[in-house]
Every structure is written in structure tokens, then in C-alpha cells.
Amino acid sequence: MKKPLLLAAVAALALPLSALAQTAPDVAALRDAALKDEVAWDVVEGLTTEVGQRLAATEAEARARDWGVKKLTALGFQNVHIETYRMPVWVRGAETAEVVGPSAQKLTIAALGNSGSTGPKGVEAEIVYFPTMADLAAAPAERVKGKIAFVSHSMTATQDGSHYGAFGAARRAGPNVAATKGAVAILIRSIGTDYHRNPHTGVTNWAKGVTPIAAAALSLPDAEQLERLLKRGPVRLRLLVTPEFKGEAESGNVIGDVPGSDPAAGIVLVGGHLDSWDLGTGAIDDAAGIAITTAAAKAVMAAGQPRRTIRVVWFGAEEVGGFGGAAYAKAHTGERHVFASESDSGADRVWKFETNLPVGAAPIADRLAIALAPLGIARGRGEAHGGTDVGPILQTGVAGIDLSQSALRYFDYHHTPDDTLDKIDPAQLRQNVAAWTTLLTIVANAPEDIAGVPPHGE
Amino acid sequence: MKKPLLLAAVAALALPLSALAQTAPDVAALRDAALKDEVAWDVVEGLTTEVGQRLAATEAEARARDWGVKKLTALGFQNVHIETYRMPVWVRGAETAEVVGPSAQKLTIAALGNSGSTGPKGVEAEIVYFPTMADLAAAPAERVKGKIAFVSHSMTATQDGSHYGAFGAARRAGPNVAATKGAVAILIRSIGTDYHRNPHTGVTNWAKGVTPIAAAALSLPDAEQLERLLKRGPVRLRLLVTPEFKGEAESGNVIGDVPGSDPAAGIVLVGGHLDSWDLGTGAIDDAAGIAITTAAAKAVMAAGQPRRTIRVVWFGAEEVGGFGGAAYAKAHTGERHVFASESDSGADRVWKFETNLPVGAAPIADRLAIALAPLGIARGRGEAHGGTDVGPILQTGVAGIDLSQSALRYFDYHHTPDDTLDKIDPAQLRQNVAAWTTLLTIVANAPEDIAGVPPHGE
């Protein structure tokens, strides 16, 4: 039988207050000091200015790794090093789209990651329109064959960002479906929520044996323009999209530790991803995530040695297929990770947290709820599931907590040229650092054993 | 001696109430009906969708003229025709900018109208930074020679749009000054107020004998990125800007009349401009202006023949130097124009009006004040000055009234790829139509003679 809610609430309030008092560092003091943090801004400003875009496995991402080693070393992290791996490289080429005929006009597009090429001469074909991904999936091949498929959707801005998962299939899977049905190319309405002429790129995936076709996103104004033109009659488009697959090259993760006093207590893994798409400077995606987690780990470091080792990883090659997270998990199977969490939804304020902790470590969540409440953060109803980078570690049965950032603005800028430093609000960035400092202080110093959980993850 | 303010206010209230009652059509009824107008949206949606961008003296602007003749004819305007003129043509080419050296990265630029070319091989040079146009003007030539000048400014969003005039000199005059001092090229911070990677183009002017250099605008995020890089040390840039001057070609004005019952009472001239910059679809600049004035003239036409002829002009080639307005004034010197006004600041709500009327026609302004008040429009403290298109007519001593639209959002989109249909709020567009319907009803039917005023205009 369930406990009555009131009793449960009283129990939750009673327990952690005493437990909080036992915790060595003063969580509240560290949390509040972090609201004046300058480290995160320094990292995000420096990386986005001095390196700029950092497409996976390119020279720019390598420069970013060197930048990271210098920065983590200067901040006092230990065992700072790069771990490399090889991966396929895709780079953007020319990309233009032009309506032909009596309403001749250019449309703004951006190739999706892993898009195929039209070849240097481009293609010209009629548009076949699908209001949703389901419509494309249901269409007979003869409707699609030889045409340029155009897939729309109805994504809106949501605080939990859930529409990205729900409506993102047009980008992730649409091109493969269109190619299978014989389309010469595919355009999608950007998986985004803003009305600027900056299309949202992002990775698409091809099934084995499917030859990639040209696949690009239209900005929302362009997608709606095309819909208006299609209401007036058939539309032919001339499309030039010439990205290239460049074979394999080196990418890597940048790693730094705050060594703990009790190696047997296991590693607390946090981070974000260092690579970015090539269009913006990757400020909210994801210089912010590495800046926030690094600043929080630094704050805990400065307060005295934690019980558990805190490891910060600046993952490489997340955008293009999660190569950094996979490489890390493979390379570190011998170590005892007890906790993993990542920051990869921008720099707007954290508003909820969710956990996936073993029963014995449940008091950690109760202490966290009390310590995060002054930051305007409440416990959500779901379970933590991590993200692309810590997913492979979580899937081995490691515990985790998600600090969820407001995504209301995130998909206005995500994967566009507009992902630049000015989109970061320093006050909200600091709230993130305070939340992560709170989390790391509590988790890294928790007296409880953090045992494994049933394998879980994205 | 001035009248005490209270007495003046009472007099203003007392007079026009009776005068309003004398006006033939029911101004209030026409005004309120216009709040449900669908003509303006039909024009702005149709033109921006079916034609798109309409750069002056190009094939697209010619298509737009044909579109305009059909639309004005279908709406019932009389004497619908095109009046052509010839003018120099400038067209955009390639445009890329790249920081070279350890922080190698691309910056987003757009060439200014009338920009010179770097040639197909581009130029590479050091940046010399000027925080304001005054700093560039004051700089000795040896600081500028052989370099790429970069001029910033501190424009903010203002309701009256006045910062465009105040801070726009960097674009209008900066390139000429930089060229005179021997710069190889010039970049300016976009004359705009938004943080999207869509630079603001716009015309620049060269003094006689000055050879045009490459002149381009950086988006605000790019301008601030460059400023951050310059704080760290010297910056070299590789610049490719290849627009072309294409000689002379044809442009034109599209004209339609609502004939008045009293030809001797003179012509009431209203309109906006048909051409647009090449980057967006020219929705707020200025499909909205022609749509608003056309819809208002149509509403007056539908209510019965006005006393004065209302002439709607869709001016060509405003953006690139006001060729349409100048050509109209030159071609129509023989006609008695008694009033001229244009709509060319977007589609957001009108919030004030200002007049330049002869003393005998002053009651028109008083009646207008009463009739516009329910739309949230009040009389401003300044005088009407018109704009680029009706300026040449106003300068001959013709009376005018400005209906001022809120410009708070206008310079977020102005002259960028983001000037698209979605930026227009249909409710605010209708408020504009209601304001213009009110103005035209009162002015075209005014029993007073509208005599000339001292020559005036922009």
C-alpha cells in the first residue's frame, strides 16, 4: 500500500535535513557562491570566440581540443589529456534552391549532416509535398519517384524540449524513406521554432545499402513560402547540394579529473560536447554544457577534495553520431563509474531534475530537492535518461540525474548560424552553474554507496 | 502671445466635432469596417509569394509591375498603367569573409547596395577598427590605407525609428570616407537591431570621382565576434565581394486612380514602393506599404466617389536611390497635387500622426485627431516630412501628413533575408488600413481648399 502523500512529504522533509547537515561542504554556500561564477562565461566566450565552429573530425575540432587541454589545465584539473578515435567525416558544400517558372525565386536551405550530393550540376524536379513524416511513410513509391520530396511538421516550442523528439523524425528518418521510394532529393521544414532565414541542420541517417540523396532543411519562412506556392499549383525546384564524405579522420575527447579521496567510491562523470555544427559557433550547443559542468567541478574542487573523483569530459563528435560518447565508454570499461550526467540543452535556466538512482542512494535525491529549490528547480515526475554522450555509460547500469534546462528558446537557435554567444544570458548560465555545483557537491560527497541501476539511457 | 493651452485644447475639441458631422461619408464607420480589411493581406501575401524579391530594374521588379497592374485593375482602380524610366543596375555577387590565422573562422556578410568588388580573387588585409563613424572620419589616411576598415555603432530599437537616421551614416557615408582614405574594403556593423546572422544591406553612396571599394555589412553577432577578436590582438581577414554594376535598365512606377468628382480640388497622392532588396521578399519593406494604401483607397472607392482623385502609386526603385519617386515628380509636374503621403515603415501599428498643412486646411488635422484616437493614434509634436518616394512632390510645396508606424521591430528585419510575410501581424496591418482609410476619407472629401505649403520634404 502506498504511503499517504502527506506522510511521505513529511518524511522527505525530515530525512534530508539531517543528512544535509552531515555532508562535509556547505552545499548552500557553494550553491550561492556559484551564482556569481565567472568560469563558465570565460569558457563559453573563449571557445566560441577563439575557435568558433568546431565540426567533428575537422581541423577546427582539433584546435578546440588543444584549447580545452590548456583551459582545463589552467583551471587546475588533473590528468588532463585527449583520447582520440577515428570516424567518418562529412563536410558541407554548395547549397542553393531555386523555384523555376513564373514565380522564380531563391529559397534558403542548409544540407543535413550526412546528406548526399546532387552533383555539381544540381537537379531540377517537381516537388511532392507531405504535411507530415507519416504521410511520406505512407506514400506509394510512384508518387515520390523522380521528385523532390518536401516534408513539413508542426513542432512548437516546449519547455521540456519534447517536440524535438516527437517531430524530429522528418530529419532523422525522412531522407532515408524518401531515398528508398526513389526521390531525387528531399527538403524538410527545419526542425526548429523560429522564423529567421537560418535553416536548422542536424544529422540524418541512412539504412545500410541505401544511397544517400541530397537532403536539406528549409527555414520556416521558406518552408511556408513553398507551401503557399504549392497551394497555387505544381512547383518545380532547381537544387544544388554538394557536400562530401571525406573518409575517416581523427576526433577526440578531452578529459580532466578532480581526484577524490576515496577511489573505491567510484567516478562521477559529467560533461557536454566540444564539437558543434559548422553553421554557428556552437555557443548553446554545446560550449555552454562544457562550460557549466566544468565551472561546477572547479567550484567543488576549490572547496576541498571531494570523496569521489569528478571527471569532466568534453566529448567530441556528438552531433554527427555520438562518436565521442561511444569511444569514451569503450575505452573506460575497466573503471567504476557510479554516476553520469550531461548538460546539452543550452544555457537557459534549469527548472526540474529527475533521477535514476538505486534504492540505497535515494536520500541523495531528497537532499538535492531541498538544495535546488531556492534556484527554482523542482523534482519532475519522470526518470533521468541522460543524453547522447553519457548514454553509453548509463546503458551499462550507471546511475544518473538530469538537470533539465528550459528549452523554450533552444530550438530557435539549435543547429543554425544563430547559435552564437549573444544567445547566452549570463544570469541564466550562472543559475546552471549553481545547480550543477549543488548536484556535484551532493553526489561526489554522498556517504551512501551509489550502486548500479538496471541498464538505462537514451 | 500664445493661447493658454487649456483654451487651445477646448477649441480643438469644439471645432472638428461639427466639421466631422459635415463630411459626406461616415468616417467612423469606414474606419471600423477597415479593421476587418482583407485586401491588404491579399496584396502583401500575393506579391511576396508569387514574385518574391523585387530588386530594382531586374526581371523580378518587371514581373512585380505586371502583377501590380493586374491587381489594381481587379480592384477597380482607373487609368491603371506603368510609367517607366531608366536607371543604373547593381547586382549582388559572391560574398564571403574569413578570419585567417589561429582563430580562423567565417563571418557572415552581405554587400551594401552600390558596393564595389574585390575582384574574383578577393583581398586579404588587416582590420582597422573604428567604434563610430566619427572615429573613421577623424582618422588620418595612413591608419586606413591598405586596410579593411571596420565601423561599428550603437543603434538601438526606437519607436519612431530615429536611430536609423542617427546611426545609419556608417552605411550611407562610411564606404565613401574609407575609400577616400585608401582602405581596400570596408565592413560595417549592420544598421539593425537584431541578433540573427542575417546582415542588413542597404544603399551606400560614392562621391564623384571616388572609385567604389568592396563594402559589406556584418550581422550583429559577427560584428561583436570581430570586436572580441580585435580585443585579443590584430585580425587579418580574407574578403571576397563581387557585385557588378550592369549599366542602365528599365524600372517603373505602377499607377492607379480613384477619380474624384471635383478635378479642380487636386490629386491626393498615396503609396509605397514596389521594389525590394534582393535578400528577403520585401514584405515589411514595402509590400506592406503598397498594400495598406491600396486597401485604404479601395475602401474609400467602395464608399462612393470622393471629392478629390486619390492616386495610388507603387513606386519602383526606391531602395537603390529613389528613382521612382523622382521619375514620378518629373513626369507629373503639370498636375495639381494637393496632398502626398507614403507608407514605408513596415506593418506594425500606427501610433502618431504629424501634419504639414496650409493654415486654411488646419481643420483637417483636427478632424483627423478625433477620428484616429480610437485606433490608439495621437498627434505628435513634429511636422510631416514624408519619405523618399513622395519627397520630390512634397518639395514642390505640396501638403502632407505622416502616419507613423511603430518601428520597434522594424530594424530587426529591415533589408535582411528575414523580411518575409511571417513578420506581418494581420491585426496590426488592419489597424494601418483603418488609419489610412480614415485619413483618405477625410482628406479626399475635405471641403476646405488644400493650398500649397512652403516647400518641404525629406
Q: Are strands B378-383 and B337-342 parallel, antiparallel or unpaired?
A: unpaired
Q: Which grid coordinates belong to A39?
A: 568560469
Residue B453 lies in a domain: no
pLDDT at A332: 98
Is there a single domain that holds both residue B437 and residue B332? yes
Whether residues B158 and B234 fall in one domain: yes
For residue A357, how far is the Cα from the chain centroid? 22
Which chain A residue has its CA at the smallest distance from B46's CA? A228
What's the domain range around A118? 93-242
User: Strand locations in B131-184, DSSP E?
Assistant: 148-151
Let me know whether B223 and B279 are in one domain.
Answer: no
Does residue B159 have a pLDDT over 70? Answer: yes
Percent of chain B with pLDDT over 90: 93
pLDDT digits (tens, 9 = 90+) for B300-329: 999 999 999 999 999 999 999 999 999 999
* Closest partner CB to B197 (pick from A51, A224, A418): A418
A211 assigned to some structural domain: yes
Phi, psi at residue A38, to the nearest 5°? Answer: -120, -5
| Cis before A42 (ω within 30) | no
Provide the CB-side half-sphere exposure for A45 (13 A, CA).
Answer: 15
Residues A176 and A312 both lie in one domain = no
B316 neighbors B324 (Cβ within 8 angstroms):
yes
Q: Cα separations (Å) of B295 from B53, B318, B325? A: 21, 21, 21
Distance CA A412, CA B224 (A): 20
A195, A210, A242 — which closes off a domain? A242
Measure the CA–CA gap between B72 and B258, rounded to whole angstroms: 11
Task: State in Å, rounded, how far the first CA of chain A is from the last one.
Answer: 31
Indicate whether B227 and B285 sit together in one domain.
no
Mean pLDDT score, B25-31: 95
In SS3 terms, B191-230 reads as CCCCCCCCCCCCECCCCCCCCCCEEEEECHHHHHHHHHHH
Centre a 10 Å sphere on the Cβ of residue A207 and count the other Cβ atoms it contains: 10
CB contact under 8 Å between B225 and A420, yes or no, is: yes
Mutate to test the interface with B, among A53, A225, A227 (most CBs of B within 10 A): A225
Number of domains in chain B: 2
CA distances to B136, B284, B348 from B422, rounded to whole Å, are: 38, 10, 12
Q: Between A and B, how many residue pairs show a Cβ–Cβ distance under 8 A?
A: 99
Task: Please list the pLDDT of chain A residue by residue as tens digits (458 residues).
Answer: 344 444 444 444 444 444 444 446 899 999 999 999 999 999 999 999 999 999 999 999 999 999 999 999 999 999 999 999 999 999 999 999 999 999 999 999 999 999 999 999 999 999 999 999 999 999 999 999 999 999 999 999 999 999 999 999 999 999 999 999 999 999 999 999 999 999 999 999 999 999 999 999 999 999 999 999 999 999 999 999 999 999 999 999 999 999 999 999 999 999 999 999 999 999 999 999 999 999 999 999 999 999 999 999 999 999 999 999 999 999 999 999 999 999 999 999 999 999 999 999 999 999 999 999 999 999 999 999 999 999 999 999 999 999 999 999 999 999 999 999 999 999 999 999 999 999 999 999 999 999 999 875 44
Which pLDDT score, from 0 to 100, does residue B456 have? 55
CA distance B185 to chain A (A): 23
User: Of the residues A214, A242, A270, which one is the last residue of a structural domain?
Assistant: A242
Four-point Cα dihedral B287, B293, B297, B299, nearest 10: 80
The pLDDT, as a whole number, for residue A169 is 96
pLDDT, average across residues B369-383: 97
Question: Quick one: B105 and B175 in the same domain?
Answer: yes
CA distances from B371 to A282, B31, B299 (A): 52, 8, 16
Predicted local confidence at residue A25, as pLDDT: 85
Residues of A with CB under 8 A from a CB of B: 45, 48-53, 60, 63, 99, 102-106, 108, 195-198, 220-221, 224-225, 228-229, 232, 280-281, 416-418, 420-423
> Is residue A375 within 8 Å of A32, Cβ to Cβ?
no
Domain-embedded: residue B159: yes
Answer whether A103 sits within 8 Å of B51, measured CB to CB. Answer: yes
Both A385 and A425 in a single domain?
A: yes
Q: Are B415 and B391 in contact (CB under 8 A)?
A: no
Q: What nine digits make up the cell of A300?
A: 567543488
Residue with cell string 572615429:
B135
Cα–Cα distance for residue pair B454/B458, rounded to 1 Å:
13
Please answer yes or no on whether A422 and B220 come within 8 Å at the CB atom: yes
**A12 and A148 belong to one structural domain:** no
Q: Pairing mode, if any, of strands B309-315 and B244-258? A: antiparallel
Q: Cβ of A422 and B229 within 8 Å? A: no
- CA neighbours closer than 13 Å in the CB half-sphere of residue B118: 28
Q: Is the dihedral of CA B155, B160, B166, B167 positive or negative?
A: positive
Q: DSSP per residue over A54-117, as a string?
A: --TTSHHHHHHHHHHHHHHHHTT-EEEEEEEEEEEEEE---EEEEEESTT-EEE-EEEPBT---
CATH of the domain at A392: 3.40.630.10
Q: CB distance A281–B225 less than 8 Å?
A: yes
- Do A343 and A391 lie in a common domain? yes
Q: Where are the alpha helices (DSSP H) in A255-409?
A: 288-302, 323-331, 362-372, 391-394
DSSP string, A230-298: HHHS--EEEEEE--EEEEEEEEEEEEEEE--S-GGG-EEEEEEE----SSS--IIIIIHHHHHHHHHHH
Mean pLDDT over B433-453 rounds to 97
Alpha-carbon distance of B240 to A35, in angstroms, equals 44
Please check whether residue A455 lies inside any domain of the structure: no
Q: Do B422 and A52 touch (CB under 8 A)?
A: no
Q: Which amino acid is at B379?
A: R
Torsion of CA A438, A443, A447, A451, to 10 degrees: 160
Is the same domain home to B318 and B388?
Answer: yes
Which of A218, A242, A266 finishes a domain?
A: A242
Q: How far apart are CA B302 and CA B299, in angstroms?
A: 5
Residue A454 lies in a domain: no
Q: Which residue of B has its CA nearest to A47?
A: B103
| Cell (9 digits) for A315 | 566529448
Bridge partners of A244, per DSSP, are A91
Phi/psi for A388 (5° steps) reads: -60, -40
pLDDT band at B18 (very low <50, low <70, confident <90, very high): very low
CA distance from start to end of chain B = 31
pLDDT at position B25? 85
Residues in chain A closer than 8 A to B281 (CB atoms): 105, 225
* Residue B457 is assigned to a structural domain of this protein: no
Task: Label the pairing between strands A244-258 and A78-91.
Answer: antiparallel
* In-domain check, residue A228: yes
Mark whether A314 and A174 lie in a shared domain.
no
Contact A184, A128 (CB under 8 A): no
Residue A156: give its domain's CATH number: 3.50.30.30
Shared-domain flag, residues A230 and A160: yes
- Tell me, yes or no, whether A450 lies in a domain: no
